[in-house]
Amino acid sequence: QQPVQSPQAVILREGEDAVINCSSSKALYSVHWYRQKHGEAPVFLMILLKGGEQKGHDKISASFNEKKQQSSLYLTASQLSYSGTYFCGTDRNKFYFGSGTKLNVKP
Amino acid sequence: DTGVSQDPRHKITKRGQNVTFRCDPISEHNRLYWYRQTLGQGPEFLTYFQNEAQLEKSRLLSDRFSAERPKGSFSTLEIQRTEQGDSAMYLCASSLAGTSVTDTQYFGPGTRLTVL
């Protein structure tokens, strides 16, 4: 029931783009994205509620394909502050987080 | 700052002892979640409350774990007869649930438990 994320880790240079994928074997009602920096609590990024919905703020956006039970997080022109572990989470009464994608942005 | 707070931030205990953690959610939030997180893994759902009612509990949660939210405000998580495998970060999150089941969770800083 835990969503599967890919890739497990990404190393980028500042200014490069990245895509993080999240898929589930169960029907998704919504997808949440969080970022967690080392030693800190997860911080909410965005929720996607509808099939095919896309959202974004600043240079981080996401899409949600309800039929395919998949979501993708897009990081454009990455900044050093984007470094951290990204988790997708799904909501079906119980809340399941993926195992995370570790993103390291280097100067 | 009126964010989610957790106490204590760190707890070291000996195997077999009981421990209790406290979580104070954002004041107007009616949902409260407990998670456990081990190194390199995502937060693992333990249980959640809507107001004072405990609505879901993970099957992973053994009988040694119990959580309460007696007045629909703060919550406590107790672990009895701790084992070394209980060592983890225990995270609390709160949210304001409306008519949809989906809501934004705000996390506290966590309580790091080490069982010797």
> Residue B25 and residue B94: Cα distance in Å, rounded?
6
More confident residue, A40 or A94: A40
> Residue B46 and residue B24: Cα distance in Å, rounded?
17
Least Cα distance to A82 among A21, A40, A37, A33 occurs for: A37
Predicted pLDDT of residue A54: 67
Is residue A84 less than 8 Å (CB to CB) from chain B? no
Predicted pLDDT of residue B101: 46
Question: What is the CA angle B17-B115-B70, rounded to 5?
Answer: 55
Cβ-based contacts of A4 with chain B (< 8 Å): none
Least Cα distance to B64 among B11, B23, B15, B112 occurs for: B15
Cβ-based contacts of B34 with chain A (< 8 Å): none
The whole-number average pLDDT for the span A6-24 is: 95
Predicted pLDDT of residue B7: 97
The SS3 call for residue B91 is: strand
Mean pLDDT of chain A: 88
Facing B104 at nearest CB: one of A2, A29, A44 = A44
pLDDT over 50 (residue B25): yes
